[in-house]
Amino acid sequence: MRVIVLGSGVIGVSTAYFLAKAGHEVTVVDRQPGPALETSYANAGEVSPGYSAPWAAPGLMAKAVKWMLMKHSPLVIRPKLDPAMWSWCLKLLANANERSYEINKGRMVRLAEYSRDCLRALRDETGIRYDERAKGTLQVFRTQKQVDAAATDMAVLDRFKVPYSLLDVDGCAAVEPALRLVKEKIVGGLLLPGDETGDCFRFTNALAAMATELGVEFRYNTGIRKLESDGRRVTGVVTDAGTLTADSYVVAMGSYSPTLVKPFGMDLPVYPVKGYSLTLPIVDPAGAPESTVMDETHKIAVTRLGDRIRVGGTAELTGFDLTLRPGRRGPLDHVVSDLFPTGGDLSKAEFWTGLRPNTPDGTPIVGPTPVRNLFLNTGHGTLGWTMAAGSGRVVADVVGGRQTEIDMDGLTVARYGRSAAAASRPTVGGVARPAA
């Protein structure tokens, strides 16, 4: 069938590739001049199924207050007269309990583990290269309280048979030798050996080239305005270059997805959470991370990508504001210089920001909608790179009417009930934000 994928980030390109592999005629539409130029451009570089966890955890409110009072705060909230922001925050807090946390983390780990397996199979099949490494993630703890709190996560990892090791300081230094220089700053860590790393931007561009060879058409520099409907199904997508039609449509527009599908009765609880990163050249390989080190205190990841270090993290609630705020660089500078003081040259760092499309329960919205030819692949938050291959594969399977290889329970828009997925009779039109 003919399928239009809206969005050319890592999620959209992965979806297009697997659709083309399944024999469909695919067109990808995006406002940017090329793939992966927004949220997928300079993320933290982690492919971390073992570290997949919702932000809505028990004790979230107390932690949020503590974070905002820290010198190098991982969280900033800039209040706006935006009902969507406050609705999202209330739903986030409603999920911050032990029962919801375990359910949501289980859903996330299920998809993330499958995605990591899909990525490995794709790499074996195609030989795709993207500064990848398969040396795991080390979550480092600066306090004993953090070590004790890891028990909840380890219980979920046990349930899904995800390998891990709880390490003391010497164990952390054995895995990441550069940490020997700063052993006094940590008390232990959780090693997730099944995790990987890689440059999402390089991956997405390489996969887009492969998709093109399979016949996928990429329409860049093309703004997406609205979806048209006949009252039962999508009949076309209105763009700056005219109306495009297909048999099925996949919305993979990250934070911009909700506005596009709202006229169809779907109130998607996807809200942008702004993140920042630094990319700096390695000047001392022995002083740089081997893989990813996640600082649990500051919620910042430090990742080796070839001859570069990527430092990614922080969360800023400020709507769709993409202002690159110099003050938000402080936490990134602090963590990389504190844990890897000799590794990279901060004076040559590229400072970047992007909008993560977060759901309040942490789980992305993947698969069918009440509109029979409209599908979603959005809401991946900080885990778009981790979940891209698996999300693309399952959406391609759903669009093609094939049985998915994982259970889709809790992954689709249906989990939000009629308030988000009613779509009783979609209306015609409805101007949306331009595509991400």
Place of tokens 């759901």: 359
Q: Which residues are annotated as a binding site?
A: 3-17
Rounded CA separation 263/242 (Å): 20
Strand 75-77, strand 271-281: pairing: unpaired
Q: Determine how many CB atoms are found less than 10 A away from the CB of residue 59.
A: 12
Q: If we measure between CA atoms, which residue out of 197, 388, 179, 193 comes closest to residue 295?
A: 179
Rounded CA separation 77/316 (Å): 6
Spell out the long-range contacts of 60-68 with Cβ–Cβ below 8 A and sequence spacing 24 or more: 60/92, 60/93, 60/96, 61/93, 61/96, 67/299
Burial of 141 (0-12, 13-18, 19+ CB in 10 A): buried
3-class secondary-structure state, position 141: strand
**Alpha-carbon distances, residue 109 vs 153, 364, 432 (angstroms):** 11, 11, 32
Q: Which residues are annotated as a binding site for FAD?
A: 3-17
Strand 242-244, strand 234-239: pairing: antiparallel
Q: If we measure between CA atoms, which residue out of 306, 322, 61 comes closest to residue 201?
A: 306
> 47 pairs with which residues across the strands?
196
Place of tokens 């979230």: 60
Provide the CB-side half-sphere exposure for 346 (13 A, CA): 14
Outline where 237-328 has alpha helix (H). 257-261
